[in-house]
Structure 1
């Protein structure tokens, strides 16, 4: 008798929860009254046949945001709920959330600096039309060539300025050059010098955080040879921000490549009133941590899985250091 009744309970629950049938429709199908179906659903919960779990993503992500803000003394953190999304959908979700986050920071008359990379590209693509008065977007790093021009800082600056109804500058120079002498020559050209000077006066900077060894845009574009990567690894390099390289502690590494970059250096970036870092993915955990330890960003946009790992990895690092001491 109990087995048969339980089978009936399961049947009713499947129709109600899986097929979204109303209690009236189920009652009509089975040939009983609606109150009986209501009692059967309640009985199914009591017997554990049905478990109701409320996933409060907003609460969970808010806790992650609070922990990261406190740990790294950040102004704001946005953690994007991305559970059960595939990689492509995660990228789109983070881009859209970053667009809404940055949009709220922009005021009339602002000067906005942008670096380059895939995450910034997706942010600009998802950015809504939001006309502002007297807004200007300035590329913070050079970038020339024909490969994936949509992720270059000049193109990102241009596309964002269109969404904001503002103007943009273009920095017509590579992000890196072969020698320090060539960098000095180029940065003294009037137009390049002018754009670099404007970059130092931005009110808001939006930058990506890269991992030089895995899925690196810089390596893909041919800026990082195997020899340079090996040298950077020996120096403990963990991340690049605006094409400048930092170690695990967030310190700028002493390598000649940092002196061949045409763009805003990190000391000037730190002086910007608001700096938003966009980064997510398991391959960027150490890179994001390095950027946070160095205090190079004041706000962070990332996804839920990355935020959890950032907290767990830092706790593990702290625990290990205490043990060593």
Structure 2
């Protein structure tokens, strides 16, 4: 590149980036064609004469989003910053981000599924008041019991339906029962079988993901005991969606606990046209990676630290 060409590149770049002139205006000013201006601007970047930086905290998260979408074939990834924020604050941010996404994309869909958990409770809390009278909210897993009632699927479905000015169904059963005989009786009852069928046919769903071994809501609610945790580890469990446990490849593990769940089967989640996962916490990284490998999610809402770990 000779001195004159370099000088022209610097001049064009100054007019474009600092003076705010359009390519057509620059071409007219210096008496050349617009395609030549475009070519000179490209050369400015290629030769390091012009370097473009985005000075905003979102630049970091947008880069992570692009990498997640490419690596896992996601329709969309939404990454929220976590620096200087407590896990509770991060969950609020995730809930807000997910609520904005659902609000923008719910359109004329007829049904929205929801599972359960602390992060989903934040999603419902952050959801704006809207009117979707043609929509119905469906719980995807049982939600009864005395502990942590505020994160049960039935309550979340009810609260979300209130915010959307619409109706919901109720799955009158716990997430997990004591034995297969009881499960058989429950899922064969008309009320429960009807809601499960509604769940299988939702147009969009929002789910959380957990790990049974650390900060587990299922352990807090006494669904999982010490002997369960040991057996799950031996079976290769790394995470769960809708209380269904899967291994590092995203495949449902063979374990009696998976047979005790009142809710959608893990393979049925794959058939939901748009499944949005909301996840917080680096301790869930292995499970999230496995779920993405398994092809369960179309959209992932995640904090930046955890996003970095799964890339």
Question: RMSD over aligned Cα, in angstroms?
Answer: 1.3
Whether the aligned pair in 2 keeps the contact of 1:279 and 1:301 (CA below 8 Å) is yes
1:159-187 CA-to-partner distances (Å, cap 9, x unmatched) read 11111111001100011111112111110
Whether the aligned pair in 2 keeps the contact of 1:144 and 1:175 (CA below 8 Å) is yes
* Structure 1: 5+ residue stretches without partners: 1-52, 312-325
C-alpha distance in structure 2 between counterparts of 1:154 and 1:308, whole Å: 33
1:1-50 CA-to-partner distances (Å, cap 9, x unmatched) read xxxxxxxxxxxxxxxxxxxxxxxxxxxxxxxxxxxxxxxxxxxxxxxxxx
Q: Give TM-score scaled by structure 1 length.
A: 0.77
C-alpha distance in structure 2 between counterparts of 1:114 and 1:258, whole Å: 19
C-alpha distance in structure 2 between counterparts of 1:276 and 1:88, whole Å: 20
Counterparts of 1:32-43 in structure 2, within 5 Å, are: none
C-alpha distance in structure 1 between counterparts of 2:282 and 2:55, whole Å: 23
Whether the aligned pair in 2 keeps the contact of 1:280 and 1:303 (CA below 8 Å) is yes
C-alpha distance in structure 2 between counterparts of 1:228 and 1:186, whole Å: 23
Number of the residue aligned with 1:98? 98
C-alpha distance in structure 2 between counterparts of 1:206 and 1:310, whole Å: 21
Number of the residue aligned with 1:49? none
Query: When the two structures are aligned, how many residues end up with a matched partner?
Result: 259
**Farther off after superposition, 278-287 or 99-108:** 99-108
Number of the residue aligned with 2:156? 156
Number of the residue aligned with 1:141? 141
C-alpha distance in structure 2 between counterparts of 1:297 and 1:108, whole Å: 21
1:298 aligns with 2:283: no
Whether the aligned pair in 1 keeps the contact of 2:242 and 2:263 (CA below 8 Å) is yes
Number of the residue aligned with 1:289? 289
Counterparts of 1:177-196 in structure 2, within 5 Å, are: 177-196=177-196
* Structure 2: 5+ residue stretches without partners: 1-52
Number of the residue aligned with 1:241? 241
**1:116 Cα deviation (Å)?**
0.1
Q: Secondary structure at the match of 2:238?
A: strand
Whether the aligned pair in 2 keeps the contact of 1:143 and 1:175 (CA below 8 Å) is yes
1:308 aligns with 2:295: no
**1:256 Cα deviation (Å)?**
1.0
Q: Secondary structure at the match of 1:300?
A: strand
Counterparts of 1:83-232 in structure 2, within 5 Å, are: 83-232=83-232
Whether the aligned pair in 2 keeps the contact of 1:206 and 1:276 (CA below 8 Å) is yes
Q: Give TM-score scaled by structure 2 length.
A: 0.81
Query: Which 4+ residue blocks in structure 1 deviate beyond 4 angstroms?
Result: none
Whether the aligned pair in 2 keeps the contact of 1:187 and 1:262 (CA below 8 Å) is yes
